[in-house]
């Protein structure tokens, strides 16, 4: 296991470079590896990403069984379960890196943008309305800034999500003590590249 958050970040970016170049390593995902990780896990990073099927986080970083704690929610929307899952990764599994990974053309942020633009919200969308409400501050924060509005909202959402996670009574002390690095990133669907915020 790599203990330094910056070294872990470099490891992830190297894996992404292999993914982008279609030169993925031959990951050990056979029976022996399954048996090894069944006895205990020692992941080296925790990544909060979106539920989007086009962003398979282990593949994007060219990692295999037991390498990553992956927490996914639509648009990285935070609730008690998501925050608790992230806290579990960094505190109980001792991952030295927590990354929030947004992505190009995020459908959840598009839905939030549409809701903000129409100023029309109904209660008949189940918990999707919760996701839209959670992402609305990112849309509002990106409104009026130069560039593509959706891309700006996605990047703003990563920043806001990191800020909220830094308020966690579990995450904040780990970062302050130098035991945890936090990073924001953006995944380009068109290229497969991860760009740090």
Mean pLDDT of 56-78: 96
The rounded Cα 148 to chain-centroid distance in angstroms is 21
**Model pLDDT, residue 3:** 63
Mean pLDDT of 85-106: 98
Token duo for residue 44 = 């080296």
Question: What confidence tens digit (pLDDT) does each residue in 105-149 have?
Answer: 999 999 999 988 887 655 566 788 889 999 999 999 998 899 999
Specify whether the CB–CB gap between 95 and 45 falls below 8 A.
yes
Which phi-psi region, left, alpha or beta, contains residue 90 (left: φ > 0; alpha: ψ -120 to 50)? alpha
The pLDDT mean for the chain works out to 93
Q: What is the CATH number of domain 5-196?
A: 3.40.1050.10
Question: What confidence tens digit (pLDDT) does each residue in 27-66 have?
Answer: 777 888 888 889 899 999 999 999 999 999 999 999 999 9
The rounded Cα 131 to chain-centroid distance in angstroms is 15
**48, burial (CB in 10 Å: exposed 0-12, middle 13-18, buried 19+):** buried
Mean pLDDT of 64-90: 97
How many Å apart are CA 7 and CA 14, to the nearest integer?
A: 10
């Amino acid at each position: 296991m790599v203990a330094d958050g910056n070294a872990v970040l470099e490891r992830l970016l190297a894996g992404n470079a292999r993914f982008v170049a279609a030169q993925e390593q031959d990951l050990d995902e056979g029976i022996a590896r399954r048996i090894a990780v069944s006895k205990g896990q020692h992941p080296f990073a925790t990544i909060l990403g979106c539920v989007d099927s086009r962003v398979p986080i282990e593949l994007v970083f060219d990692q295999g069984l037991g390498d990553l704690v992956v927490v996914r929610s639509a648009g990285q929307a935070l609730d008690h379960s998501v925050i608790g899952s992230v806290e579990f990764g960094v505190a109980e599994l001792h991952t030295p890196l927590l990354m929030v990974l947004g992505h190009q053309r995020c459908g959840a942020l598009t839905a939030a943008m549409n809701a903000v633009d129409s100023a029309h919200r109904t209660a008949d969308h189940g918990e999707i309305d919760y996701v839209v409400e959670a992402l609305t501050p990112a849309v509002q924060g990106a409104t009026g800034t130069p560039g593509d509005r959706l891309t700006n909202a996605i990047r703003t959402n990563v920043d806001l999500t990191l800020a909220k996670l830094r308020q966690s009574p579990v995450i904040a002390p780990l970062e302050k003590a130098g035991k945890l690095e936090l990073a924001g990133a953006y995944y380009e669907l068109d290229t497969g590249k991860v760009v740090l915020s």
